[in-house]
Amino acid sequence: MKRTILTGILVVAAGCSALMAQKGNKNQQSQQQAPAQPAGPRVKSQEEAKAVNALIQSQTAGPDAIIKAADDLLTRFADTEFKEIALTFEAEAYQKKGDFARAEVIDEDILKVNPKSYQASLQLGELIVNHTGENDLDKADKLAKVQKLLNQTIQDLKSAEKPANTQLTDEQWSGYKKAETAQAQADLARAALLDKKYDDAIAQFKAAGDTDPQPAYQAYLAMAYQKAGKNDEALAICSKILSDPQTNPAIKGYVTNVQKAANAAKGAAAPK
């Protein structure tokens, strides 16, 4: 998942911590008007402020440090207003460590705290898609859950408000929401592919590309067309991508393989 939005969350945390530091000096500033309390989650004590600061600082120290700082905050301050943020950091840290099962559990915990956490529903849906096998006995149940999670993500992103005190501009916030929405649509397409619902996959990859024009979504769309047996459509997209000198080499390599598969399928189907 993209981490741009976490910039705004960190600013909120830093602002709250700074506020507590100012309150700690209130005896020296008794003649001055107290600063306004910022919107968003707030710390309730100097000790909690230190724990929140430690969580912020852990972001540059790697997944284990993040997990330790998040656990410390959540254990010592069970009623912290930063619970969702701490769990979000922790889920992403476990994902980076490759502990996907633990990341899924924490994403579920986030959704208990905030059922409209589009970050948690998107990450959880994505994790399930990534770790669902073609022959899993519970594949149908998993894919049904993915559909519910990702459709909820898309709906929640529509009404999501820019985090308080964030440094993101309105344009950046709009771009972030589009990128996350497109990712959810692409993940829905991947789920449809697992279910061999190729027309649904094509529709979702198209939607992702319309929401956030990216060569990768066009490459996946070509792949979906090819798997659906619509090789001419796949080849048309492949030619367009491969003719663009700005296309990332990795995407070109992927598209070249799709092109080969489409040509091979057409050749096999041609009259002898």
pLDDT tens by residue, 20-36: 544 554 444 444 444 44
Residue 213 carries which DSSP code?
Answer: -
Distance, in Å, from the CA atom of 98 to the CA atom of 105, rounded to the nearest integer, reads 13
Residue 20 Cα distances to 23, 42, 58, 78, 180, angstroms: 5, 9, 20, 19, 33
Distance, in Å, from the CA atom of 31 to the CA atom of 34, rounded to the nearest integer, reads 9
Q: What is the dihedral of CA 165, 170, 173, 178, to 10 degrees?
A: 160
Distance, in Å, from the CA atom of 59 to the CA atom of 136, rounded to the nearest integer, reads 36
Q: Please give the pLDDT value at position 168.
A: 77
Looking at per-residue pLDDT, the higher value among 89 and 41 belongs to 89
Give helix 100-113 / helix 83-97 axis angle, nearest 10°: 160
Task: Find out whether 12 and 43 touch, Cβ atoms under 8 Å.
Answer: no
146-171 mean pLDDT: 89
171-193 mean pLDDT: 95
Per-residue pLDDT at 132 exceeds 50 = yes
- 205-225 burial string, b = 16+ CB within 10 Å, else e? bbbbbebbebbbbbbbbbbbb
pTM, rounded to two decimals: 0.85
Q: Which two three-digit tokens encode residue 120? A: 């948690």
Contacts of 167 (CB under 8 A, 6+ apart): 7, 8, 11
How much of the chain, in percent, has pLDDT values that exceed 90?
71
Query: CB neighbours (10 Å) of residue 115?
Result: 11
Per-residue pLDDT at 8 exceeds 90 = no
Residue 266 carries which DSSP code?
Answer: H
Q: Please give the pLDDT value at position 3.
A: 44
pLDDT tens, residue by residue, 55-78: 988 988 899 999 999 999 999 999
37-44 mean pLDDT: 70
Looking at per-residue pLDDT, the higher value among 86 and 21 belongs to 86
Dihedral sign (CA 260, 262, 268, 271)? negative
- In DSSP notation, 41-87 reads ----SHHHHHHHHHHHHGGGS-HHHHHHHHHHHHHH-TT-TTHHHHH
How much of the chain, in percent, has pLDDT values that exceed 70?
84
Q: pLDDT class for 165, splitting at 50, 70, 90?
A: low
Per-residue pLDDT at 139 exceeds 80 = yes
Q: Which two three-digit tokens encode residue 250? A: 């990795």
Q: Please give the pLDDT value at position 41.
A: 80
Residue-range domain boundaries for the chain: 45-93, 214-272
74-90 mean pLDDT: 93
